[in-house]
Chains A and B, each alone.
Chain A
């Protein structure tokens, strides 16, 4: 994708957005070059003592030697040759060990309120930051923690203990009212972990109907419950829950999602068929229906084509053996496949591209691009040509395309179309400047030459003479034009 200079200029200047343009393109480029040059020069100067003095030692993968992820690899690797590894690694004495007293300040001490007076002294000394003299009195242990041996916790205290990861029994919350009070306190604490813990208890001790009903008025808890059920893959209860809450569409999607874990294509197809009865939104239902239809077709095509391929009688499968199964591929990929292997089939077959286009209402543009790419890949230039054919009322044929011809050229070129094919389509590009650029890029000499002739630009034509092969027909053509006395050159 090398843009010619003209093309590029054109882009930068034609857009009304001048932002992020390289105003002085050359300058910018040469500046990077400058620094590259400097780097290279200096390297030569200091080559010998290169790595030794580097700031930090870095293994090739870039991990500083001694970083954790580097060490995971190192120690794991060395364990395979245990004989070389001494039981205890020697900590070399030349590396200054970290002063342990330097940070007497640990996060847990902040929260657990352990007195560490001695350490804190050294800490504040070490940091010489007078503002850190006192440590976190705000976070001193709340009162409730002292009651460690009392067992009848209030809902509030229970929640706090859960938050601190302490043992606590929920069994004492027996009545529905108690349980809900506990749940509400958990919700107020916003700790998902605690909410989930309480929910697990409620799930075990309440009947579904009651639980669902109560959750409906507690959205936060509800979300956590849904998350819990999907994490633990309790699909059945999840669906029931969604239905109970009138979230039928969510439930439908959730069930649909399960198809992803079914690997057998026939089972997957049947599963999708069953999904069609789920309460999707109208729009989603149409997509799921298409999904089902597509897989059903893919299965049929796959069986037929595998036989054809094995039979060895169908030429195209011999010439271009299939690289992958068509099963579970997206629709457009399937269309491409059918344009490749089943292009000329009558519209009645499942694998006919036209039939696929009809059934799935593929947009004209998508169909066109896909067919174009597939036929170009096969170098079926006649098919390509036919795609553009359109007859006007006088019976003349002219080339029409739902795509810009620039994109057409692009697609053809990506499929390595030869110059004589490209030329036809470059010629159809409406915009003169763009046409010229494309012609230059793809070496469509005739177009360039006749464009210069039409521009009456003798200088450009002279210049272009140097770009064509010596002694070629193009060169002769240029010479003829240059010596043609009838043309009134503008320069």
Chain B
């Protein structure tokens, strides 16, 4: 089923570029994009001749890790790397000091502090700044105010708009995109999105068809068309890889991220949080007890694992409903055990040789199985808990429209128990979205309870949620959620978790609205749901981009079309799983590549909308 039919674990281990192999197995070779980004990085490093030390804005090491390894930097004379902090820079006998930073004012203050406390004896060191992903006027102005702007030989930008995350997944890792767009009405992230899409088209050809739904989608499409006009006269001669681009505003579907994801990868993200392709897990389950070693040195640091399709087993199970993971793992266990048993049958030298040659692969598979068994056990402890079940039941009640107009006792109880505020906000927002706004009495009650229990300063957060439309008082108009639910078949009574036949398996019954829109666009087309589209916020539109003659694809019979779906404001792993499912459905005739401003889940999303989430009283 999955695209990764053969195991490339061994070849990965052998190659220094192991991190990237999985990018090129998809329908679209995203490695091209990664290579372009690496080239850019090398060019910048070579601009600063001589030995170098890099001072990192720590946030950036994650995204950069998806592009390059230390070895690449080392080849370009990067000898030392530090984390950006106040005070004097650590000693390093290098010619260049390069700051790799996001354009943020508070970081400029730290840089200024670094430079002013620099020992004059080291005045031979040259300073450079590399802004990621864009230079910022504001930041340069701040450096000027601090009197250090002139100390920099080089101020440059590193355009890291779309980072290849996996064979079919691109992310801008732009955390605040949703907040900026829908709360602050700052369209900078949309500009970066459009720029990123232009880069993508430069590498993969002009995308002939653009569809979109939502205000931001409209703006991005406008910017793209405008940028294209600015380069009018020259034409892109690359045969288009993508047939269609679909731009979707996150606020067209506010419901989906609020629901608890029930796929394996989605649950890992919900419970432990996946960041830049890595997850940190409690170490207990991973301790390897070797013979003769006591349990004295049990690790206390969290275990960090990388998660992507380079790992064969993970690629197989990540998009499954968690209830189907146990069976998949035990099946795998049997296969691997059998493979190890083969050694008894190996009699001749040739056979033994054969066995030994496969050993590395088998061991990789074994350690992969061990890890995922441990993770599945950890998750199972949580999904079988009463608290998890109760929470899920309430979510499902809301999504099916049960009692959404009353104060919910479960939410009330959770507040009384001082459960984490974000959990409460997720549920209250979900109720609001599923009821097209809350009655005044209900809303006032929740607000009062929340402020009394968690602190009055959260007035600010509640106001933000209202501005973003996640929480709203009911207006005169009638609740249209039931119509949307029925028309788009958002609730499937008999979702099959083991052998899914519909995308609703990713939430065990709820089909993500965003993905339904995508599915319907491919077949039978949006014209069939005009009425519902009008109920959802923002315009929907279609644009065509002219291709030079000769670049029109002659489609082979049975050849799939490729759609790039861009989620403006974030996408969840469960939604990605649903799209991958659609790509694999035999007769869908469509393959999806996914791009987003940021991979999100309900918790990280709500957090990004809070004012001072770590208030001192918590």
Does B386 have its Cβ within 8 Å of any Cβ on chain A? yes
Contacts of B454 in A (CB 8 A): 330
Does B346 have its Cβ within 8 Å of any Cβ on chain A? no
Mask, A96-128, CB within 8 Å of B = 1, is 111010111111111100000000000100010
CA A35 to CA B190, docked complex, whole Å: 46
Does B284 have its Cβ within 8 Å of any Cβ on chain A? no
Are A193 and B135 in contact (CB-based, < 8 A)?
yes
A196 and B138 in contact, given A39-B369, A135-B202, A190-B190 (Cβ under 8 angstroms) = yes
CA A106 to CA B270, docked complex, whole Å: 36
Are B459 and A31 in contact (CB-based, < 8 A)?
no
Contacts of A102 in B (CB 8 A): 35
Are A132 and B238 in contact (CB-based, < 8 A)?
yes
Are A223 and B386 in contact (CB-based, < 8 A)?
no
* B:12-46 near A, CB below 8 Å: 12-13, 16-19, 29, 32, 35-40, 42-43
CB-nearest residue of chain A to B142: A232
Most B CB atoms within 10 A — which of A36, A37, A189? A36
Are B188 and A136 in contact (CB-based, < 8 A)?
no
Contacts of B137 in A (CB 8 A): 162, 193-194, 196-197, 200
Are B452 and A330 in contact (CB-based, < 8 A)?
yes
Does B288 have its Cβ within 8 Å of any Cβ on chain A? yes
CA A454 to CA B526, docked complex, whole Å: 63
Are B138 and A105 in contact (CB-based, < 8 A)?
no
Are B136 and A193 in contact (CB-based, < 8 A)?
yes
CA A283 to CA B463, docked complex, whole Å: 12
Which listed residue (B201, B340, B389, B508) contacts A45, Cβ 8 A? B340
Are B65 and A55 in contact (CB-based, < 8 A)?
no
- The 10 tightest CB contacts between A and B, nearest first, are A62-B304, A192-B188, A38-B333, A136-B202, A106-B39, A103-B35, A71-B70, A291-B456, A35-B333, A223-B185
Does B194 have its Cβ within 8 Å of any Cβ on chain A? yes
Which listed residue (A39, A68, A98) contacts B370, Cβ 8 A? A39
Contacts of B479 in A (CB 8 A): none
Q: How large is the interface on A (under 10, 10 to 19, 20 to 34, 35 or more residues)?
A: 35 or more
Are B71 and A369 in contact (CB-based, < 8 A)?
no
Are A110 and B36 in contact (CB-based, < 8 A)?
yes
Q: How large is the interface on B (under 10, 10 to 19, 20 to 34, 35 or more residues)?
A: 35 or more
A132 and B301 in contact, given A32-B326, A35-B369 (Cβ under 8 angstroms) = no
Are A223 and B186 in contact (CB-based, < 8 A)?
yes
Most B CB atoms within 10 A — which of A103, A227, A331, A363? A103
Contacts of A55 in B (CB 8 A): 9, 12-13, 18, 360, 364, 367
A38 and B363 in contact, given A67-B69, A106-B36 (Cβ under 8 angstroms) = no
CA A105 to CA B203, docked complex, whole Å: 9
Does A70 have its Cβ within 8 Å of any Cβ on chain B? yes
Are B188 and A139 in contact (CB-based, < 8 A)?
no
Are A288 and B456 in contact (CB-based, < 8 A)?
yes
A-B contact list, 20 entries, CB within 8 Å: A11-B389, A28-B323, A35-B333, A35-B369, A53-B363, A54-B364, A56-B18, A67-B70, A76-B81, A98-B72, A103-B39, A129-B32, A134-B238, A139-B231, A200-B141, A227-B184, A256-B460, A328-B617, A332-B418, A365-B416
Are B74 and A17 in contact (CB-based, < 8 A)?
no
> Using a CB–CB distance below 8 Å, which chain A residues touch chain B?
1, 3, 11, 15, 17, 19-20, 22, 28-29, 31-32, 34-39, 41-43, 45-47, 49-50, 53-56, 58, 60-64, 66-72, 75-76, 79-80, 82, 87-89, 91, 95-98, 100, 102-111, 123, 127, 129, 131-140, 142, 162, 165, 188-194, 196-197, 200, 219-220, 223-224, 226-228, 231-232, 253, 256-257, 259-260, 283-284, 287-288, 290-291, 294, 328-332, 360, 362-363, 365-366, 369-370, 407
Are A79 and B92 in contact (CB-based, < 8 A)?
yes
Which listed residue (A29, A34, A42, A97) contacts B75, Cβ 8 A? A97
Mask, B362-374, CB within 8 Å of A = 1, is 0110110110010
A219 and B188 in contact, given A34-B333, A98-B72 (Cβ under 8 angstroms) = no
In the complex, how many angstroms separate the beta carbon of B587 from the nearest chain A beta carbon?
26
CB-nearest residue of chain B to A130: B239
Most B CB atoms within 10 A — which of A11, A76, A224? A76
Further 20 A-B residue pairs, CB within 8 A, beyond A55-B9, A330-B456: A32-B373, A35-B373, A46-B363, A50-B288, A55-B13, A62-B280, A64-B19, A75-B79, A87-B93, A103-B36, A107-B40, A107-B199, A131-B239, A140-B234, A200-B138, A227-B184, A227-B186, A231-B105, A329-B455, A332-B453
Are B135 and A165 in contact (CB-based, < 8 A)?
yes
Contacts of A362 in B (CB 8 A): 452
CA A134 to CA B550, docked complex, whole Å: 14
Mask, B495-530, CB within 8 Å of A = 1, is 101000000000011000000000000000000000
A19 and B201 in contact, given A138-B234, A363-B449 (Cβ under 8 angstroms) = no
* B:386-442 near A, CB below 8 Å: 386-387, 389, 392-393, 396-397, 400, 412-413, 415-416, 418
Are B61 and A69 in contact (CB-based, < 8 A)?
yes
Are A17 and B134 in contact (CB-based, < 8 A)?
no
Are B373 and A71 in contact (CB-based, < 8 A)?
no
CA A291 to CA B451, docked complex, whole Å: 9
* B:425-483 near A, CB below 8 Å: 444, 447-449, 451-457, 459-460, 463
A108 and B105 in contact, given A76-B81, A131-B241, A253-B460 (Cβ under 8 angstroms) = no
Are A32 and B329 in contact (CB-based, < 8 A)?
yes
In the complex, how many angstroms separate the beta carbon of A272 from the nearest chain B beta carbon?
9
Are A68 and B299 in contact (CB-based, < 8 A)?
no
Does B291 have its Cβ within 8 Å of any Cβ on chain A? yes
Most A CB atoms within 10 A — which of B199, B201, B203, B448? B448
Are A107 and B36 in contact (CB-based, < 8 A)?
yes
Contacts of B455 in A (CB 8 A): 328-330
Are B159 and A366 in contact (CB-based, < 8 A)?
no
CA A353 to CA B366, docked complex, whole Å: 60
Are B366 and A42 in contact (CB-based, < 8 A)?
yes
Does B600 have its Cβ within 8 Å of any Cβ on chain A? no
CB-nearest residue of chain A to B409: A404
Contacts of B449 in A (CB 8 A): 363, 366
Which listed residue (A68, A131, A283, A290) contacts B70, Cβ 8 A? A68
A223 and B184 in contact, given A15-B393, A35-B330 (Cβ under 8 angstroms) = yes
Are A20 and B392 in contact (CB-based, < 8 A)?
yes
Which listed residue (B62, B278, B509) contacts A62, Cβ 8 A? B278
In the complex, how many angstroms separate the beta carbon of A381 from the nearest chain B beta carbon?
21
Does B542 have its Cβ within 8 Å of any Cβ on chain A? no
In the complex, how many angstroms separate the beta carbon of A190 from the nearest chain B beta carbon?
5
Which listed residue (A38, A136, A219, A331) contacts B236, Cβ 8 A? A136
* B:322-337 near A, CB below 8 Å: 323, 326-327, 329-330, 332-334, 336-337
CA A20 to CA B574, docked complex, whole Å: 15
CA A19 to CA B492, docked complex, whole Å: 10
Are A98 and B17 in contact (CB-based, < 8 A)?
yes
In the complex, how many angstroms separate the beta carbon of A52 from the nearest chain B beta carbon?
10
Are B396 and A98 in contact (CB-based, < 8 A)?
no
CB-nearest residue of chain B to A95: B16
Which listed residue (A38, A60, A79, A190) contacts B219, Cβ 8 A? A190
CA A50 to CA B389, docked complex, whole Å: 39
Mask, B184-226, CB within 8 Å of A = 1, is 1111101100100011011101100000000000010001001
CA A107 to CA B333, docked complex, whole Å: 44
A165 and B79 in contact, given A28-B326, A62-B306, A105-B39 (Cβ under 8 angstroms) = no
A139 and B198 in contact, given A67-B69, A192-B187, A260-B457 (Cβ under 8 angstroms) = yes
CB-nearest residue of chain B to A78: B80
Are B79 and A89 in contact (CB-based, < 8 A)?
yes
Are B340 and A42 in contact (CB-based, < 8 A)?
yes
CB-nearest residue of chain A to B366: A42
Are B288 and A66 in contact (CB-based, < 8 A)?
no
Contacts of A188 in B (CB 8 A): 226
CB-nearest residue of chain A to B155: A165
Mask, B343-383, CB within 8 Å of A = 1, is 00000000000000001100110110110010011001001
Contacts of A87 in B (CB 8 A): 93
Which listed residue (A3, A41, A131) contacts B386, Cβ 8 A? A3
